[in-house]
C-alpha cells in the first residue's frame, strides 16, 4: 500500500509545475471573463495543491484513492470573492457556460439548509476546460486537467474564515451553548448580503436621478459626488478650462482610482459652494498663469483632480501647503500649486 501511495506522490511531483501553470491560467481566464461581463470581484486567488498536501491526503486514515490525480477535485483551486450575492449567481452561470462542469457541489448552498440550520455558504464547481478551448494550442497541454472553483461573497468568505479559525467545519462541531448565538449571527450575515444588494440598487437609482438633473440643467442642484462626476462631463466652463490645461501640457488620464469627487465635495463645503450654479461661477476666473506655474513638471491628472485645482485657485487664501499635504499631496506638488496661486 505504501509503495502505491509513494508512486502516486512521485507522479504528482512531476505534474506539479504543470498544475501550477494551469491554476494560474484558469485564474487569469476567470478574471478576463469577469471583466468582459463587467462583474467586479473583491479579489481572486488560486493555488495548486502542494506535493506535501497531496501526500498527506493520500495517507489520511479512511481515505483510499485508486487514482488520486483524477479523484482529488482540488489539485487546482481557484476562489472568486464578490461584493454582491446576485453576482455569485451570475458567475455560477458564467462558469457553466465557459467550462465543462464535472460536478456542482450543492451541499454548501443555502437552499440545502433547513430554516434552523446554518453553515458555510459558497458555490463549488469542479471543471474541465471546454471542448472549444481544448483545441487551442495554448490549452492543449491541460485538456485532462481539472480545477475546483469556489464562488462566494465577501461576507460568506468572512464567515468561512472565522469558522475555520474556530474549527467549526459543520454544525455538529459547535458546542450546544454557542449554537444559538451562531444561528443569530448566520442570519445577520445572510440578511446583510441581501441588504447590500438593495443599497446598491438604491444608489444606482439616486445616481441616475442626479445625473439626469445635471444633464437637464435643473436649477439649484445640490453638490455631491455623483453630481460632480456628471458636472465634469457637461459643464462648458470646466470643459473650456480642460482644453486650456491640455494646451499648457497637462495630460489627462481618467484612472478610476484617481477620483477626487469626494474631496471636491469637502472643498465646496469649506468654501460655501452648495449648488452646480455656484460651482460654474466659482471656476470663472483667469486661471492660465496659475495653472502654468503649478505645472513645473509632467503632470498626469484626472478630470476630477483638474476641477479640484480650479476650485483651489478660486480661493487661494483658503489653502496652504500644509492643508494640501493633509489631503495626501506630495510636498513638491503642494509647493508648486501654492507657487501658482501666487500668480493670481
More confident: 259 or 95: 95
Is residue 329 exposed (0-12), middle (13-18) or buried (19+ Cβ within 10 Å)? middle
Among residues 115, 149, 177, the one where a domain terminates is 177
Tell me the pairing of strands 251-252 and 300-301. parallel
The residue among 47, 59, 48 whose CA lies nearest residue 13 is 48
Query: Do residues 231 and 334 both lie within one domain?
Result: yes
Range of the domain at 317: 217-341
Q: How far apart are CA 212 and CA 251, in angstroms?
A: 29
* Model confidence band, residue 169 (pLDDT cutoffs 50, 70, 90): low
Q: Is residue 198 part of a domain?
A: no
Contact 190, 118 (CB under 8 A): no
Query: Do residues 16 and 117 both lie within one domain?
Result: yes
Tell me the pairing of strands 76-82 and 99-105. unpaired
Query: Do residues 242 and 312 both lie within one domain?
Result: yes
Q: How far apart are CA 26 and CA 32, in angstroms?
A: 10
Task: Give per-residue pLDDT as tens, 12-54.
Answer: 999 999 999 999 999 999 999 999 999 999 999 999 999 999 9
The residue among 250, 304, 244 whose CA lies nearest residue 279 is 304
Contact 341, 315 (CB under 8 A): no
The CATH number of the domain where 54 resides is what? 3.30.460.10
Query: Do residues 121 and 248 both lie within one domain?
Result: no
- What HEC string does the chain produce? CHHHHHHHHHHHHHHHHHHHHHHHHHHHHHHHHHHHCCCCEEEEEEEECCHHHHHHHHHCCCCCCCCHHHHCCCCEEEEEEECCHHHHHHHHHHHHHHEEEEEEECCCCHHHCCCCCCCCCCEEEEEEECHHHHCCCCCHHHCCCCEEEEEEEHHHHHHHHHHHHHCCCCHHHCCHHHHHHHHHHHHHHHHHHHHHHHHHHHHHHHHHHHHHHHHCCCCCCECCHHHHHHHHHHCHHHHHHHHHHHHCCCEECCCCCCCCHHHHHHHHHHHCCCEHHHHHHHCCCCCHHHHHHHCCCCCEECHHHHHHHHHHHHCHHHCCHHHHHHCCCCHHHHHHHHHHHCCC
pLDDT of residue 153: 94
Query: Do residues 78 and 222 both lie within one domain?
Result: no
Query: Do residues 156 and 227 both lie within one domain?
Result: no
What mean pLDDT is reported for the chain? Answer: 88
Q: Is residue 39 part of a domain?
A: yes
Q: How far apart are CA 226 and CA 228, in angstroms?
A: 5
Q: How far apart are CA 38 and CA 18, in angstroms?
A: 30
Q: Is residue 203 part of a domain?
A: no
Task: Give per-residue pLDDT as tens, 285-334.
Answer: 999 989 998 887 788 899 999 999 999 999 999 999 999 999 888 898 88
Query: Do residues 26 and 164 both lie within one domain?
Result: yes
Q: Identify the bridge partners of residue 101 per DSSP, sorted by sequence position.
A: 127
pTM higher than 0.85? no
Angstrom CA distances, 263 to 156, 224, 228, 242, stand at 32, 10, 10, 19
Question: How much of the chain, in percent, has pLDDT values that exceed 70?
Answer: 92
Q: How far apart are CA 249 and CA 268, in angstroms?
A: 27
Number of residues assigned to the chain: 344
Query: Do residues 32 and 169 both lie within one domain?
Result: yes
Question: How much of the chain, in percent, has pLDDT values that exceed 90?
Answer: 62
Q: Is residue 195 part of a domain?
A: no
Among residues 157, 177, 197, the one where a domain terminates is 177
- Total structural domains within the chain: 2
Q: Identify the bridge partners of residue 128 per DSSP, sorted by sequence position.
A: 100
pLDDT of residue 115: 44
Q: How far apart are CA 2 and CA 68, in angstroms?
A: 14
Query: Do residues 164 and 255 both lie within one domain?
Result: no
Task: Give per-residue pLDDT as tens, 236-254.
Answer: 999 999 999 999 999 998 7
Grid coordinates representing 180 are: 444559538
* Model confidence band, residue 113 (pLDDT cutoffs 50, 70, 90): very low
Query: Do residues 88 and 6 both lie within one domain?
Result: yes
* Model confidence band, residue 152 (pLDDT cutoffs 50, 70, 90): very high
Query: Do residues 167 and 58 both lie within one domain?
Result: yes
Among residues 129, 160, 177, the one where a domain terminates is 177
Asked if the model's pLDDT at residue 168 lies above 60, the reply is no
Query: Do residues 6 and 136 both lie within one domain?
Result: yes
Asked if the model's pLDDT at residue 163 lies above 80, the reply is no
Q: Identify the bridge partners of residue 82 per DSSP, sorted by sequence position.
A: 41, 153
Q: How far apart are CA 311 and CA 231, in angstroms?
A: 13
Q: Is residue 126 part of a domain?
A: yes
Task: Give per-residue pLDDT as tens, 57-103.
Answer: 888 887 778 888 999 999 999 999 999 999 999 999 999 999 999 99
Q: Is residue 205 part of a domain?
A: no
Amino acid at each position: 500500500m505504501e509503495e502505491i501511495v509513494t508512486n502516486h506522490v512521485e507522479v504528482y511531483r512531476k505534474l506539479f509545475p504543470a498544475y501550477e501553470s494551469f491554476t494560474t491560467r484558469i485564474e487569469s481566464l476567470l478574471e478576463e471573463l469577469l471583466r468582459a461581463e463587467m462583474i467586479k470581484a473583491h479579489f481572486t486567488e488560486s493555488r495548486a495543491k502542494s506535493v506535501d498536501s497531496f501526500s498527506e491526503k493520500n495517507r489520511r486514515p479512511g481515505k483510499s484513492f485508486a487514482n488520486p490525480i483524477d479523484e482529488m477535485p482540488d489539485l487546482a483551486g481557484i476562489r472568486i470573492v464578490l461584493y454582491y450575492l446576485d453576482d455569485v449567481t451570475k458567475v455560477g452561470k458564467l462558469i457553466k457556460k465557459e467550462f465543462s462542469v464535472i460536478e456542482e457541489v450543492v451541499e454548501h448552498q443555502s437552499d440545502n439548509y433547513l430554516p434552523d440550520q446554518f453553515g458555510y455558504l459558497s458555490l463549488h464547481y469542479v471543471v474541465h476546460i471546454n471542448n472549444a478551448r481544448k483545441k487551442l494550442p495554448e490549452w492543449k497541454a491541460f485538456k485532462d486537467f481539472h480545477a475546483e472553483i469556489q464562488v462566494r461573497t465577501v461576507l460568506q468568505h468572512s464567515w468561512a474564515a472565522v469558522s475555520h479559525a474556530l474549527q467549526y467545519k459543520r454544525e455538529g462541531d459547535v458546542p450546544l451553548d454557542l449554537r444559538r448565538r451562531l444561528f443569530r449571527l448566520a442570519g445577520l450575515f445572510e440578511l446583510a448580503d441581501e441588504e447590500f444588494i438593495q443599497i446598491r440598487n438604491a444608489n444606482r437609482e439616486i445616481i441616475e436621478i442626479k445625473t439626469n438633473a445635471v444633464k437637464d440643467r435643473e436649477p439649484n442642484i445640490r453638490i455631491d459626488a455623483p453630481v460632480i462626476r456628471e458636472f465634469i462631463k457637461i459643464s462648458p466652463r470646466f470643459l473650456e478650462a480642460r482644453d486650456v490645461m491640455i494646451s499648457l501640457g497637462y495630460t489627462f488620464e481618467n484612472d478610476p482610482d484617481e477620483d477626487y469627487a469626494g474631496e471636491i465635495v469637502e472643498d465646496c463645503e469649506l468654501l460655501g459652494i452648495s449648488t452646480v450654479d455656484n460651482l460654474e461661477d466659482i471656476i470663472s476666473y483667469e486661471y492660465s498663469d496659475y495653472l502654468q506655474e503649478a505645472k513645473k513638471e509632467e503632470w498626469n491628472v484626472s478630470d476630477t483632480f483638474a476641477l479640484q485645482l480650479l476650485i483651489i485657485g478660486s480661493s487661494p487664501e483658503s489653502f496652504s501647503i500644509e492643508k494640501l499635504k493633509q489631503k495626501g499631496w506630495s510636498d513638491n506638488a503642494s509647493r508648486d500649486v501654492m507657487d501658482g496661486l501666487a500668480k493670481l
